[in-house]
Chains A and B, each alone.
Chain A
Amino acid sequence: MAHGTAAVARLDSPRSPYARRKTTRGNYELYSWIFMRASGVVLLVLIFGHLFVNLMVGEGVHAIDFAFVGGKWSNPLWQVWDLLMLWLAMIHGTNGVRTIINDYATRDLTRGILKGLLYLAFTVVVVLGTLVIFTFDACPPDAPAELLASFCTA
């Protein structure tokens, strides 16, 4: 009778060791989180400045007309200001609404349709707004002079 082979205890560890699931999507959500905070600070300055100049100075909203816009966009500072505001606000807002859609739209199809509409609106508004800022003519030749900024006739 062979003296029993040494019984080697072969116990599996009670739980498989903790392993963080690697997703294939990289750090997209981290960058989006950082972007919301960084762009938020810049937007605070840009939008408060925009509201102050357009609503508080002079006659406020009553002073806004085509000539007012012509006067502002003949200054490169306001062109850059508005372009930056357009892009940052649209990315910040689209990313915020994307988060909300992801939170509340639980069906894949609903979520897909809503995000499709969101990205379509983003593209149309950003492209249109950018074109408007770059192709704007403060003194269109066939327009009545009294509707234009004073420098058009000077």
Chain B
Amino acid sequence: MPTAPAGTLYRGREGMWSWVAHRVTGVLIFFFLLVHVLDTALVRVSPEAYNAAIGTYQTPIMGLGEAGLVAAIVFHAFNGIRILLVDFWAKGPKYQKVMLWVVAGLFVVTMAGFLPRHLMNVFGGGH
């Protein structure tokens, strides 16, 4: 088995980079999910243990991390719908580039709705 592929199937541009971003965000979300189930499991230890763990999620640095996590989830979700349309809609492959810009637009709108609210919760007068 050759150690490197003899040629590359993908040649950059929207199709390849959305595929790369889908993989990267997917892996990030998966590793957060593993940690998130473990921290939630602390409710079976004691209320104090759970509150201590969740308290670390309420610090400013983790608040920025949560913003990044939500951004990864929102991209992965909308691009996943784009993949669905490419696979099952007859005109999907033809419009895959246009649909990536629709994904980008929906991403901006969704994050514009989420970020101010979340950052206010994280930085503004939380207790």
Contact = CB atoms under 8 A, between A and B. Distances in A.
B67 to A, nearest CB: 10
B27 A100 contact: yes
Interface of A: 37, 40-41, 43-44, 47-48, 51, 55-56, 59-62, 64-67, 69, 86, 89-90, 93-94, 96-97, 100, 106, 121, 125, 128-129, 131-132, 135-136, 140, 143-144, 147-148
B118 A56 contact: yes
Interface string B57-94: 11000010010001001000100110110011000000
Contacts of B43: 66, 69, 132, 136
B3 interface: yes
A93 B118 contact: no
Contacts of B88: 37
Interface string B10-38: 00000000000001001101100110011
A55 B51 contact: no
A interface, over-half SS: helix
Contacts of B1: 106
B60 to A, nearest CB: 11
Contacts of B51: 65-66, 147
Contact of A40 (B33, B41, B44, B84): B84
B12 to A, nearest CB: 18
B34 A129 contact: no
Given A61-B63, A64-B57, A96 B30 contact: yes
Contacts of A125: 33-34, 37-38
Contacts of B37: 86, 125, 128-129, 132
Contact of B121 (A55, A65, A129, A143): A55
Contact of A106 (B3, B57, B80): B3
Contact of A136 (B44, B54, B117): B44
B103 interface: no
Q: Select the residue from A47, A61, A65, A143 with max chain B CB neighbours within 10 A.
A: A61
B44 A62 contact: no
Given A44-B77, A51-B73, A93-B30, A140 B58 contact: no
A37 B63 contact: no
A146 to B, nearest CB: 10
A35 to B, nearest CB: 13
B7 interface: no
B85 to A, nearest CB: 10
A90 B46 contact: no
Contacts of B122: 60-62
